[in-house]
Amino acid sequence: MPPTPNVPGADDTNLYGVDCTSANSCMAVGTAVFPAGFREPRPSQTVAERWDGTSWQLVPTPNPPGAFNSTLRDVSCPWENVCFAVGYWGTVPNSPPAPPAIARPLIELWNGTSWSIQSGPDVPNGGLLAVSCSGLLACTAVGNANGGPLAERWDGSWHVQSPPQPAGSQDVSCPLRRTCTAVGSSSAPLVERWFGRVNSWGLQTAPEPDGVDSSSFYGVSCPDGRVCFAVGRSSTTNSSTNQGNTTLAERRVGSTWSVMPTPNPGPYLSTFGLTFDAQLLSVSCPGRRACHAVGWGLNSTADFVMIDERFDGASWHLETIPFGSGIPEVGGVSCPNRLFCMAVGHHFINGIQGTTLAAKWTP
């Protein structure tokens, strides 16, 4: 896989989201963190990189005037030359990827030549974490604002919607113009579904695996309006063996969610006994019987690995993604078809510096 570039002068360049319209066209977005001498925290700027089937290239992105921190968290491309990216910006210092305490949502548009900042509702104290577009005039972005949930809809202009409490949405998937599913975590796995009207978001119930203390969703992909897959992690702390964080995947058919068995790297021996530490952060499903979910974990020797779990229609299978040295943090994955997937992220070389990474999957 050709290397991904890093922003010149930045200590750390991170990729958080990616969307591919084909094996020859992907857009990834994130943030670049710059040195601040002996001062902390460090300023950040938006980042975008484009894959043309052969190599990755940095694409200039704007930052709001007066911004100290700017971050793009996700991207969705309804056409090859049209992409919407969302995130947040603030004048108050923060440590990415967490939104600053005083922030504003950030939305940018790629027109095939350049990125530009889009005007949208002024929503204080919040940010957007995910976006999904089913067409040029049909996008939904989700996040949080003022301690509550935030959803915005694009139909030629951006409008704030009113999703129900609680807050916690991490990802959204909109397979059809008037059908979206958002997932996240609160006290349990959070699922919200949009049915096509401005304020028609409704909560759904998703089960937790037996015997776990808590579960969270981080990624969702809906290959069609009836079926969705959500991934994340489950935690167990009250077991003498096999405790820790384990991967989680669930599938919705119609309106019913069910837990799917998933593999894990490890377990490794810790001071607490046999311990798992793994989670899935993003999933992409080009069809009901084809998904890739990516995340990270510790293997049986307690070494960090990037993991890819592939669903073949019958079960999930564990694969390891090569990433080089350091500690990996996967951002997202996009599979435009059953024969190609692209995963992006970054890996820390030490506690401060890090570089981008990308890995592609083909059969």
Residues 327 and 307: their CA atoms lie apart, in Å, by: 13
Q: Which structure tokens are listed for 323?
A: 């990433």
Find out whether 238 and 270 touch, Cβ atoms under 8 Å. no
How do the pLDDT tens digits run along the chain, 363 residues long? 678 999 999 989 999 999 999 999 999 999 999 987 656 678 999 999 999 999 999 999 999 999 999 999 999 999 999 999 999 999 876 655 566 567 899 999 999 999 999 998 989 888 999 999 999 999 999 999 988 999 999 999 999 998 888 888 999 999 999 999 999 988 789 999 998 876 789 999 999 999 899 999 999 999 999 999 999 999 987 655 567 899 999 999 999 999 999 999 989 988 778 889 999 999 999 999 999 999 999 999 988 899 999 999 999 999 988 877 778 888 999 999 999 999 999 987 765 678 999 999 999
Distances (CA, A) of 101 to 95, 111, 124: 11, 31, 10
The position carrying tokens 């989680």 is 248
**Cα-to-chain-centroid distance, residue 309:** 16
Ranges of each domain in the chain: 1-118+325-363, 206-321
Helix then strand then coil, in percent of the chain rounded to 5, is 0, 60, 40
Helix (H) or strand (E) run with residue 288 in it:
none
Please, which residues have CB within 8 angstroms of residue 336's CB and are 6 or more apart in sequence? 20, 21, 22, 23, 286
Strand partners, 71: 88
pTM: 0.94
User: Could you give the count of Cα atoms lying within 13 Å of 87 in the half-sphere of its Cβ?
Assistant: 34
